[in-house]
Amino acid sequence: MDKNELFAAFDDVSNNLMENFAQVELMKKKMQEIMEENSQLRLENAKLRERLSDVDEKMPAKSFSQGRENLESIYEDGFHVCNNDYGKRRDNNEDCLFCMELLNRE
């Protein structure tokens, strides 16, 4: 390898190092932006969780919907409310597991 080739090789290595350094600096900048965004999102998330817990405490307990009350009334009148036998009369007002499961869902 003569001197010109050696200097050319040094120039190539030097250029590669500068390109790599520029890429590293760009990656550092992007990482800093991501970390700042992450911090902001963590703060926002904490505030939202706090707000949600405040709202949950203020909300009254869920009451049964009108539809569920209607189904319970129909069931108490002796009819099925399950998908299998909806509207059919229950034999001797015996409990139906399918109806009971439907009525006891949350």
End-to-end CA distance of the chain: 82
Q: Is 57 annotated as a binding residue?
A: no
Instruction: Give CA–CA dist 55/38, Å, rounded.
Output: 25
Q: Is 80 annotated as a binding residue?
A: yes
Q: Is 82 annotated as a binding residue?
A: yes
Task: HSE, CB side, 13 Å, CA atoms: give it for residue 91.
Answer: 1
Q: Is 96 annotated as a binding residue?
A: yes
Rounded to 5°, the CA angle 17-21-27 comes to: 145
- Cβ neighbors of 65 (< 8 A, separation 6 or more) are none
- Binding-site positions for Zn(2+) read 80, 82, 96, 99
Residue set of the binding site: 80, 82, 96, 99
